[in-house]
């Protein structure tokens, strides 16, 4: 068993809330995650037309809300290019908060998580402020500090609209008392330039997200040739450590899978083989948090079908500092049985 960077136990980050059990990014999903043992809850943040930060994984909201049933908004369906991808639907930046509050959340993957559809239509899209209010009241109620782990979604895109995410994010965090390097908050981004900008404006912990392929969209826009694979090298991680305190990585960057979905083995008969990412991140002084841990077999590697606990055990054995999980209770069962 390898140690974490600080020697403290890994943290459990509820990925979009307890999204295995409730429609993601709802106050109910976050509250259940806290009740199930999460240390941090993770809101993905986008902006409304009037500049309010709300929790959605995408700014296009037809997959996770009932907007298609709102005839009054039918004429706002449109096609946009977001970070190079063409999307058709309804976009948060075209609606005021008051309008978005008339919508209700729904389960993203009903075919896989059908029990969660019983909650469709019940809950609003929450604002960042409402999420912080929930975290503070739950922390006081249970006597345990719950952190928040907000992600800036499409930061360059929102900046181009004059709806910068960073300014209201920092203002809200400051107004609600989050300050200093030890504050229970991590601000994450798949882009680089907004994290660098944030590092000049705040000493709150920052997290560079790394995916298993592709490159940060701000690098696409600026024609920077570097990819996520470049950022995940030992030298790339040292560069990241100049502006961030952690990396949040696709777990396949730690244990790559083969084309069949089995964890890759570099030595015949010996399984599975990790990369040096955890070692290199720690050597650069960076915490490393991995995503996304889910219980369903269709998400699990072949090695751990029916055994999500085994997957956590494998990753924790490397000394990772935290996991993003849709099922914080399963992570807790392994970490704090």
* Shortest separation between residue 58's beta carbon and Ca ion, angstroms: 11
Residue 107, binding choice from ligand G3P, Ca ion, none, Cβ under 5 to 8 Å by partner class: none
Q: According to the binding rule CB under 6 A, does residue 209 interact with ligand G3P?
A: yes
Over the window 139 to 168, marking each residue x when it contacts Ca ion by CB under 5 A and - when it does not, the resulting string is ------------x-----------------
CB atoms within 10 A of CB 337: 6
- Binding-site residue total for ligand G3P (CB under 6 A)? 11
- Interface residues for Ca ion in 270-289 (CB under 5 A)? none
Token code pair at residue 24: 């993601």
Rounded to whole angstroms, how far apart are CA atoms 98 and 254? 42
The H-assigned helical ranges of the chain are: 27-35, 97-100, 128-142, 155-160, 166-175, 193-201, 217-222, 228-231, 234-240, 277-283, 308-316, 328-335
270-299 positions binding ligand G3P, by CB under 6 A: 291-292
Say which entry of Ca ion, ligand G3P, none residue 248 contacts (CB below 5 to 8 A, set by partner kind).
ligand G3P
Candidates 236, 248, 274, 328: give the one binding ligand G3P (CB under 6 A).
Answer: 248
Q: Which residue is nearest to ligand G3P (CB)?
A: 291
- Position 41 contacts ligand G3P (CB under 6 A): no
Residue 232 interacting partner from Ca ion, ligand G3P, none (CB closer than 5 to 8 Å by kind): none
Q: Residue 138, interface with ligand G3P (CB under 6 A)?
A: no
- Choice between 134 and 209, CB closer to ligand G3P: 209
User: Per CB under 6 A, does 324 bind ligand G3P?
Assistant: yes
- Say which of 25, 57, 154, 282 is annotated catalytic: 57
DSSP letters along 157-198, please? Answer: HHHHTT--SHHHHHHHHHHTT--STTSSB-EEES-SHHHHHH
Residue 27 has phi, psi (to 5 degrees) of: -60, -30
Is residue 15 within the footprint of ligand G3P (CB under 6 A)? yes
Residue of 15, 25, 282, 289 with catalytic role: 15
Q: Is 57 a catalytic residue?
A: yes
List the one residue from 151, 321, 326, 329 that touches ligand G3P (CB under 6 A).
151
Q: How deeply is 260 buried, as exposed, middle or buried, from its count of CB atoms within 10 A (0-12, 13-18, 19+)?
A: exposed
192/171 Cα distance (integer angstroms): 20
Q: Which residue has the tokens 């075919």?
A: 111
**Both ends of the chain: CA-CA distance in Å?**
17
| 151 sits in which H/E element | strand 151-152
- Counting contacts by CB under 6 A, is residue 252 touching ligand G3P? no
Q: Which of 9, 324, 35 is nearest to 188 (CA)?
A: 324
Closest by Cα among 101, 103, 97, 100 to 50: 97
Catalytic residues: 15, 57
Residues that bind ligand G3P in the complex, under the rule CB under 6 A: 15, 42, 44, 57, 151, 188, 209, 248, 291-292, 324
Which residues of the chain form contacts with Ca ion (CB under 5 A)?
44, 151
């Amino acid at each position: 068993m390898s140690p974490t960077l600080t020697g403290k136990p890994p943290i459990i980050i509820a990925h979009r809330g307890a999204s295995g059990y409730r429609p993601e990014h709802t106050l109910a999903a976050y509250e259940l995650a806290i009740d199930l043992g999460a240390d941090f809850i993770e809101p993905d943040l986008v902006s409304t037309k009037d500049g309010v930060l709300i929790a959605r994984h995408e700014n296009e909201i037809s997959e996770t809300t009932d907007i298609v049933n709102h005839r009054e908004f039918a004429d706002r369906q449109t096609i946009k290019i977001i970070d190079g991808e063409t999307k058709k639907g309804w976009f948060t930046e075209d609606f005021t908060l008051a309008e978005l509050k008339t919508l209700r959340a729904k389960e993203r993957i009903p075919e896989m998580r059908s029990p969660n559809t019983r909650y469709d239509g019940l809950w609003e899209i929450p604002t960042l402020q409402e999420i912080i209010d929930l975290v503070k009241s739950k922390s006081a109620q249970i006597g345990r500090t719950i952190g928040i782990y907000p992600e800036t979604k499409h930061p360059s895109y929102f900046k181009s609209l004059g709806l910068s995410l960073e300014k209201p994010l920092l203002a809200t965090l400051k107004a609600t008392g989050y300050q200093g390097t030890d504050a229970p908050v991590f601000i994450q981004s798949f882009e680089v330039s907004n994290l660098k900008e944030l590092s000049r404006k705040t000493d709150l912990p920052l997290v560079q997200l790394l995916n298993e392929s592709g490159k940060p969209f701000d690098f696409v826009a600026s024609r920077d040739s570097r990819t996520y694979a470049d950022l995940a090298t030992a030298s790339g991680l040292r560069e990241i450590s100049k502006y961030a305190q952690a990396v949040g990585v696709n777990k396949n960057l730690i244990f790559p899978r083969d084309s069949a979905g089995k964890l890759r083995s570099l030595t015949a008969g010996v399984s599975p083989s990790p990369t040096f990412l955890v070692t290199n991140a720690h050597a650069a002084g960076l915490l490393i948090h991995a995503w996304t841990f889910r219980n369903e077999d269709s998400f699990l590697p072949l090695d751990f079908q029916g055994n999500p606990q085994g997957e956590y055990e494998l990753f924790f054995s490397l000394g990772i500092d935290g996991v993003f999980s849709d099922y914080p209770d399963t992570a807790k069962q392994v970490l704090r049985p």
